Amino acid sequence: MEKEKCRQEICESGLHEECGVFGIYDFDGGNVASSIYYGLFALQHRGQESCGIAVSETNGPKGKVSAYKGMGLVNEVFTQENLERLNGDIGVGHVRYSTAGASTRENAQPLVLNYVKGTLALAHNGNLINAKELREDLEYTGAIFQTTIDSEVIAYHIARERLNSKTVEEAVLRACRKIKGAYSLVIMSPRKLIGARDPYGFRPLCIGRRDNAYIIASETCALDTIGAEYVRDVLPGEVVTITPERGVISDLSNALPKEREARCVFEYIYFARPDSHIDGVSVYHSRIQAGRFLAMDSPVEADLVVGVPESGNAAALGYSLQSGIPYGTAFVKNGYVGRTFIKPKQSSRESSVRIKLNVLREAVDQKRVIMIDDSIVRGTTSDRIVKMLRDAGASEVHVRIASPPFLWPCYFGTDIPERKQLIAYNRSLEDIRKTIGADTLAYLDESRMSEMAQGLPICKGCFTGTYPMEPPKEDIRGNYEK
């Protein structure tokens, strides 16, 4: 019960994405642990529950993997001492926020698998919709699971396929043909680094290079952090293999079959860092565009446009640029509030929102304010922020949301709760406006989203209920314990 209450409190602070992955292979034999550490630091926004690093020496004992993982932020889990113990020229790292499987150390990644053909270390971003059936099939053939996450199901299938495959990348390709849903994978074998992206391209994955080292990461911002240059994105349905002999290998003739591509539009709205590019599209530019569209479609007279930090800021600037209304800063964010801060009791006067955000009274006093946020999930945070602006003297508060209303859950790695918990479910726009206490309220029009992603095929299932693949008949999110 406490665990579920904790999950609800986390969800109230906004949406969460499942994970970030990072892999590197230094062909010159340099130690990669510190590069993985800094890469994960850059991807911390993608998951704050747990993190881990696994490395291996390609010229050392075959199959020997050094790994360390734990609960908490990257700088909480890793110290100089435990990083120095991770020696290897190839490695993978992971940051996690759970949408499926309990939040425990056992479920932290990367997963390290020892099997008859050697070792694998796997980091997974996404969510499978057929994990439950695949898991049960494996259990009935004798498999013993150590975690409750769908990533272990992927690892088991790769290990099984490897028994009848000439190469590990062939085994990865065969395993990927069995799994359904969202997955971006980084896999370390004793002599290869492999990346795989599902045929829909739900989650991002890119390739970078620094001198004689290659990197596979969730976002380009991780490449920038370690001084690597962007090479290209891993294509939806593609499996790439990195080796010193041949560099980046990809056989697109064996690409995973697909009906359509469907990138998660929330990567552009909220999940990704604004300094990242996903499939050639600037996340920052997408958010500026969202704000411009809101100003075009839902104008209102006001004195100031402000964003709810951090993801609302770029959209607020876009609204300002389009409307001519001055852009300003209304909120000061406490940058030292991590995932582990002690939340106040309900009886306490302290608000968890006020601990994270405070309003600059001088900026909003006696002003008509347009407040831009990336989304409204339950609405419990939005009403508090609107009230904070009014308490600071704002004469009017007009709320604009840089996404359409959430009406459906997501099964592909986004922590959107069941329908009855969504504020937009069975409520009119006017009902929502009254609930959050705004003078006016408008959402981004659903038709604008493709323009925002510059025409890339996107998934809009959480807004429309039309998913790119048949959703599961039961809600598969949560623990897999029986």
Give the CATH number of the domain where residue 231 resides. Answer: 3.60.20.10
* Span 320-340, average pLDDT: 85
382 is a domain residue: yes
The sheet with strand 440-443 has its strands ordered as 304-307, 368-373, 396-401, 440-443
Q: Are 256 and 319 part of one and the same domain?
A: no
422 is a domain residue: yes
State the sign of the Cα–Cα–Cα–Cα dihedral 359, 362, 363, 369: positive
Whether 147 shows a pLDDT value over 90: the answer reads no
Whether 259 shows a pLDDT value over 80: the answer reads no
Q: Are 354 and 235 part of one and the same domain?
A: no
Q: What is the pLDDT of residues 440-471, one digit of tens each?
A: 999 999 999 999 999 999 999 999 999 999 88
Place of tokens 């997963």: 111
Asked whether 400 and 319 are in contact (CB, 8 A), the reply is: yes
4 band by pLDDT with thresholds 50, 70 and 90: very low
Q: Are 36 and 119 part of one and the same domain?
A: yes
476 is a domain residue: no
480 is a domain residue: no
What's the domain count of the chain? 2
The residues pairing with 281 across neighbouring beta strands, listed in sequence order, are 278
Given 201, 225, 260, the domain boundary residue is: 260
pLDDT score of 348: 54
pLDDT score of 103: 62
Q: Are 232 and 290 part of one and the same domain?
A: no
Q: Are 245 and 368 part of one and the same domain?
A: no
Q: Are 185 and 318 part of one and the same domain?
A: no
The CB density around residue 116, as the number of other CB atoms within 10 Å, is 7
Q: What percent of the chain has pLDDT over 90?
A: 70
37 band by pLDDT with thresholds 50, 70 and 90: very high
Q: What is the pLDDT of residues 404-418, one digit of tens each?
A: 999 998 888 777 777
Given 227, 260, 293, the domain boundary residue is: 260
Whether 13 shows a pLDDT value over 50: the answer reads no
Q: Are 215 and 178 part of one and the same domain?
A: yes
First-to-last alpha carbon distance for the chain, in angstroms, is: 16
Least confident window among 24-38, 61-75, 175-189, 347-361: 347-361
Given 230, 260, 290, the domain boundary residue is: 260
Q: Read off the CATH number of the domain in which 294 is found.
A: 3.40.50.2020
16 band by pLDDT with thresholds 50, 70 and 90: low
More confident residue, 326 or 253: 326
Whether 145 shows a pLDDT value over 90: the answer reads no
pLDDT score of 335: 72
283 is a domain residue: yes
215 band by pLDDT with thresholds 50, 70 and 90: very high
Q: Are 286 and 210 part of one and the same domain?
A: no
Catalytic option among 19, 51, 176, 459: 19
DSSP assignment of 342-359: PPPPTTSS--HHHHHEEE
More confident residue, 137 or 235: 235
pLDDT score of 107: 82
Nearest CA-CA partner of 48 in 70, 33, 32: 70
Average model confidence (pLDDT) across the chain: 88
Q: Are 448 and 306 part of one and the same domain?
A: yes
What is the residue range of 383's domain?
278-464
Burial of 420 per CB tally in 10 Å (0-12, 13-18, 19+): exposed
Asked whether 286 and 453 are in contact (CB, 8 A), the reply is: yes
Q: Are 235 and 315 part of one and the same domain?
A: no
Asked whether 120 and 167 are in contact (CB, 8 A), the reply is: no
Q: Are 82 and 206 part of one and the same domain?
A: yes
* Span 105-133, average pLDDT: 89
pLDDT score of 356: 84
- Rounded alpha-carbon distances, angstroms, from residue 66 to 69, 88, 149, 202: 11, 8, 22, 31
The residues pairing with 268 across neighbouring beta strands, listed in sequence order, are none
> Catalytic site residue 206?
no
Q: What is the pLDDT of residues 359-379, one digit of tens each?
A: 999 999 999 999 999 999 888
Task: Find the helix or strand (DSSP H, E) in which 227 lies.
Answer: none
Q: Are 181 and 313 part of one and the same domain?
A: no
Tell me the C-alpha distance between 161 and 116, whole Å: 12
Q: What percent of the chain has pLDDT over 70?
A: 89
More confident residue, 342 or 95: 95
Q: What is the pLDDT of residues 348-364, one digit of tens each?
A: 555 677 788 899 999 99
474 is a domain residue: no
268 is a domain residue: no
269 is a domain residue: no
Q: Which two tokens stand for residue 5?
A: 């209450």
More confident residue, 9 or 266: 266
